[in-house]
Chain A
Amino acid sequence: MVVATTNSLELSTRWQLNDHVSLRDEAFGALAYHHDTRRLVFLKSVALVDVVRRLGEFATVNDALCALVPTSEHGRYAAALAALRRSEIIREC
């Protein structure tokens, strides 16, 4: 059982889209399919999809959030990224 945490320690590490995951763009965001866990995840925002795709370009999750997301939205995005990490759609580098 993985407990949800989005503490500052995690946000200061580098994450990226998992190599085993395919993203398919959709009008509402994207479908993410994990070829190993066979889990299909719906990303319900185009902006979130963009963050997920570009996470690996930044040294830390925090850097990615600062560059790509308005400050007032950081909490929401951090929670969504944590959920995506639990389903192994994204992973720490």
Chain B
Amino acid sequence: MRRLLRLSVVRRSFVSADVSLRDRFERGLAAPICLTWELTYACNLACTHCLSSSGRRDPLELSTAEAKALIDEIATMKIFYINIGGGEPMIRRDFFELIEYAVSRNIGVKFSTNGTRIDPAAATRLASIDYLDIQISIDGVDATTSDRIRGVGSYDAARRAMDNLRAADFGQFKISVVMTRDSVEQLDEFEKLAQLYGAELRLTRLRPSGRGADVWQELHPTLAQNRRLYRWLLDRPNVLTGDSFFHLSALGEPLDGLNLCGAGRVVCLIDPVGQVYACPFVIHDEFNAGNIRDAGFNAVWSESELFRSLREPGSPGACTSCGSFDACRGGCMAAKFFTGLEMTDPDPECVFGHGEEALKKKVTIARPNSSPDHSRRIPVTLSSK
């Protein structure tokens, strides 16, 4: 079994009278539950919706020794598993050294990859590591749909990686898909593809972060599509979402998951140069809590002023009068920020359309850019083998 996390709450009459677990989470934990660590900004693809505007390696990326020291600190803080991403993490020369070191410290590793580096030899090595989980990204169930976002040849490369993992007897991996206006029309086909490989399907929300800001307007699912997606997910609790779609829980029964914005409270991101951001979707100065190179990760997590303020009870703002605030909590901070909304505005994809109204009412919209941009300056082509 490869899945690193299954959540359950032992409440059996342990629901305390005054505060629910979610309220506790909103006040922050001693260490994150969900820590994403992007190993490198280097990437051999140039997806149009890249959250981290990746492409070129940053010369200041953590060294192998620094990365191992961080893994030691993660172990000390009892962070039981980490999500590794990038860029394309497998591009780092010490990729295997680092994930094997983490696993040796009893830290579960899940990493996201475009699959281009999973040849038969890499698949065999990956299969030999227990306590490892892999997410392969595609953005359509066919090359035409997926390559439009991820680049020519990327879909075939991802399928080859899946074939290689299957041949190496890796076990269950995950197929990860960002929900766009096009991919959301292929839900049943994605389910079939996952079944074909005995894989788990993971769907996440398209966010206007990084280069995603450039395509969000034309690619984010319509209101009607989001309603269909909600119903589809409700019927399939086994489809993973990383708690991505809690803004849709306002439609009724809550979706599986914690249904809250965990930024700086239970979630955070460490970028390739050691900067700590509130979540993987807000790589921007405004959400930078500090750098692990100064006094270590624990110091940033527990002492940063930004994180402390995120753990204070927030105002529901414009959502105060909406009966569904308790279900969606006003939605995603990153989605608001990068579409030019205020934190007290509704989510831009509010299922009742309040976000769209809020956007229309703004006289001028100042959409912030993603601060660090490592996009390549020339177009990327992926040579097929």
Contact = CB atoms under 8 A, between A and B. Distances in A.
Interface of A: 22, 24-28, 31, 33, 35, 37-45, 48, 76, 79-80, 83-84, 87
Contacts of B24: 26-28
A16 B57 CA distance: 49
B11 A44 contact: yes
A45 B7 contact: no
Interface string B1-39: 101111111111111100101001001011101000000
A39 B7 CA distance: 6
B10 A42 contact: yes
A41 B9 contact: yes
Nearest to B2: A38
12 contacts: A27-B24, A37-B6, A41-B8, A43-B10, A44-B14, A44-B15, A44-B21, A45-B14, A48-B10, A76-B12, A79-B12, A79-B13
Interface string B40-61: 0000000000000000000000
Given A24-B30, A26-B30, A38 B9 contact: no
Q: What is the predominant secondary structure among interface residues of chain B facing chain A? A: loop
B182 to A, nearest CB: 33
B128 interface: no
A39 B80 contact: no
Contacts of B11: 44
Given A24-B30, A26-B29, A27-B24, A44 B10 contact: yes
Contact of B7 (A27, A28, A40, A84): A40
B106 interface: yes
B6 A38 contact: yes
B210 interface: no
Nearest to B77: A24
A22 B80 contact: yes
A48 B11 CA distance: 11
Contact of A38 (B1, B10, B78): B1
B108 interface: yes
A84 B8 CA distance: 10
